[in-house]
Amino acid sequence: MPTAVSLFSGCGGSDAGVIAAGFDVIMANDVLAYAHDVYLANFPETDYRVGDVQTIANFPAAELLVGCYPCQGFSQGGARIANRKINTLYLEFARALNLIQPKAFIAENVSGLRRSTYRHLLEDQLKQFSEAGRHGYDVHWMQLNAHEFGVAQERKRLVIVGIRKDFNIPFVFPGPTHGPLTDTPYFTIANALDGLPDWPEGEFCDDPFHWYYLSRNRRRDWSEVSKTIVSHMRHMPLHPISPSLLRINTDKWVFESEAPARRFSYREAARLQGFMPAYTSHGGDMIFPESITGAKADFSHNMLRHKYRVIGNAVPPPLFHAVAGALPNIWD
């Protein structure tokens, strides 16, 4: 089984995908303690190191390097500040690439990197990665849509793949596995949430729907794919059990009836992100610990917020499964 090192690993979305593709993730890293706790509750065999990646001086040898460096500076739903330090954490990925010199790598970020404001950062990533190590890497990038790979959610992501130049083997991105151009329909909200209760007590944010939330249509029907799952629990899309929304003015929507409405729960959000039971080591739904390792009591009182956060920041496992599965067989 080929080995992989994972950086900016979060709660394990990218790693669940590469594990499903046949890799052994021997090391993972993230700065969030609760991401570490969720990861190890579901993938306990990995050596997960909590802390700033800049403090890690050495990495284990591996054949694949995976990295999903933070996207808040580029994201449509984030601050979108071009000079934020968080925007250059790809340099730490490049440092690891130089030290490990794996046979291949996969990196992921939001599609906003394609915008003119950030294009120079994308170009620098491609340059840094292509020149890494003794041999350098043939680097390819493409925007992929998660719902075309069996994820019940619209989520566009920019994926960068590199294969070491000494192999002289091209990489071809996988084509859609779901949708009208395939033999398999989209994986819908109904498919993803099958078997879950309609009103899971204590698992969803029940804060009031403020004016900003109702400035757009946050609801999709059972037969559709969800809108993008986000990390802020108050902005989570509506569950289809909620009444439809009607637009009554510019940036103003109202519920069609006074029937009860609610956001997706964190457990439902996990499934909509692609964390189906097939993508956990124990074959069940994602496990979410009820405390944070090393946290003081006054820090971990609002576990709901932390659960939503790590899931909203995750990479859909089926997307990385498809990309890792498309790598050429260079592991022998």
What does the pLDDT profile of the chain (332 residues) look like in tens digits?
Answer: 999 999 999 999 999 999 999 999 999 999 999 999 999 999 999 999 999 999 999 999 999 999 998 755 544 444 444 445 556 789 999 999 999 999 999 999 877 777 767 788 889 999 999 999 999 999 999 999 999 999 999 999 999 999 999 999 999 999 999 999 999 999 999 999 999 999 999 999 999 999 999 999 999 999 999 999 999 999 999 999 999 999 999 999 999 999 999 999 999 999 999 999 999 999 999 999 999 988 765 555 589 999 999 999 999 999 999 999 999 999 98
pLDDT of res. 84: 55
19 located within any domain: yes
Please report whether residue 163 resides in a domain: yes
- Across-strand partners of 57? none
Please report the pLDDT score of residue 332 as a whole number.
Answer: 85
Q: Cβ distance 115 to 143 under 8 Å?
A: no
With b meaning 16 or more CB within 10 Å and e meaning fewer, what string describes 170-193? Answer: ebeebebbbbeeeeeebbbbebbb
- Flag whether 53 is in a domain: yes
DSSP string, 105-137: EEEEEEGGGGSTTTHHHHHHHHHHHHT-TTT-E
List, in sequence order, every beta strand (DSSP E) within the chain: 3-7, 24-30, 47-50, 64-67, 104-110, 137-145, 156-164, 245-249, 252-255
Burial 25-55 (b: 16+ CB within 10 A, else e): bbbbbbebbbbbbbbbbbbeebebbbeebee
Is 253 part of a structural domain of the chain? Answer: no
Task: Classify each residue of 287-323 as buried b or exposed e, where b means 16 or more C-beta atoms within 10 Å of its C-beta.
Answer: ebbeebeeeeeeebeebbbbbbbbbbbbbbbbbbbbb
Check if the beta carbon of residue 315 is closer than 8 Å to that of residue 14. yes
Helix (H, G, I), strand (E, B), or coil: what is residue 253? strand
**Domain that includes residue 92, residue range:** 3-180+314-325
Cβ–Cβ < 8 Å for 238, 219: yes
Q: Is the pTM of this model over 0.75?
A: yes
In-domain check, residue 227? no
Nearest Cα to Cα of residue 316 among 266, 270, 267: 270
Residue 11 falls in the annotated catalytic set: no
79 is a domain residue: yes
Residue 192 lies in a domain: no
State the Cα–Cα distance between residues 282 and 288, nearest whole angstrom.
13
Are 35 and 295 a contacting pair, CB within 8 Å? Answer: no
Give the pLDDT confidence score for residue 76 in this predicted structure: 46
Predicted confidence at residue 180, as pLDDT, reads 95
105 occurs within a structural domain? yes
Active-site pick, 11, 68, 71, 205? 71
Tell which residue, 101, 92, 119, has the closest CA to residue 162: 101
Q: Of 160, 146, 158, which is closest to residue 105 (Cα–Cα)?
A: 160
The total number of structural domains that make up the chain = 1
Cα–Cα distance for residue pair 86/73, rounded to 1 Å: 7
| CA dist., res. 109 & res. 67, Å (int) | 9
Total residue count of the chain as it appears in this document: 332
Contacts of residue 127, Cβ cutoff 8 Å, sequence gap at least 6: none
- Domain containing 164 — which CATH number? 3.40.50.150
